[in-house]
Structures are given as structure tokens and as C-alpha cells.
Amino acid sequence: GENVEQHPSTLSVQEGDSAVIKCTYSDSASNYFPWYKQELGKRPQLIIDIRSNVGEKKDQRIAVTLNKTAKHFSLHITETQPEDSAVYFCAALDRSNDYKLSFGAGTTVTVRA
């Protein structure tokens, strides 16, 4: 099955700086990679996703890049704001295991004012 590793586990950035979270996956057949944001006590919400036929996708201040050869993908948040403080989860579609998502362990992002 798919194994997703996520780094770092915690990330503290100054407001206005960029934040980068990296994930690696093990199954080269995986072709869908979503990112979820979970604010304290709330449900995870999809913020961006990427499929294996593209290398980069942007949505305002967030972007995701995918390197299929190296089997890693990253979330980039630019011009961070206090409302970006949350836990972020990466995931990869496990096509060998009922098409479930395999989640990374999460990154707690704190934006310092």
C-alpha cells in the first residue's frame, strides 16, 4: 500500500514570509495528491490538489508542485497571514488499496505576527 511521509511536523514563520511543506510517497502508481487544512477543533478542508499529469498548480497564495520521478510533492504558501495558522495534511491516492487516500502525519503551521 501507499506510505506518505510529511515534513516538517511543525513550522513557525514570520507573517509575510513563505512556508513550504514537503511530502514523499511510495507508490509510483499514485496519481492524485490533495492537501487539507485543519483549523483548531474544525474539520479538514481541501485547499488544493494536483494530479500526476501536471507539475504545478497555483491558487492565489498557495501552490503545489509535484515531482513524479522523485515521488515527492510540496505545498507552498506565500505572504503568510495569521489565518494560515493551522494543521496541514498531505495525502496520496492509494490505487492498490481500494482507492483510499493515505494521509501524512500533518504539519502544524504557526504564523507569528
Helix (H) or strand (E) holding 90: strand 86-94
* Residue 43 contacts other proteins per CB under 8 A: yes
Handedness of CA 22, 32, 49, 2 (dihedral sign): negative
Among 64, 77, 101, 111, binds other proteins (CB under 8 A): 101
Q: Specify burial of residue 69 (Cβ count, 10 A radius: 0-12, 13-18, 19+).
A: exposed
Among 42, 58, 61, 112, binds other proteins (CB under 8 A): 42
* Residue 106 contacts other proteins per CB under 8 A: yes
DSSP class of 84: G
Q: Which is nearer to other proteins, 84 or 88 (CB)?
A: 88
* Residue 64 contacts other proteins per CB under 8 A: no
Q: Which three cell numbers stand for residue 18?
A: 513563505
The residue ranges that bind other proteins (CB under 8 A) are 32, 34, 36, 41-46, 49, 51, 89, 93, 98-101, 103-106, 108
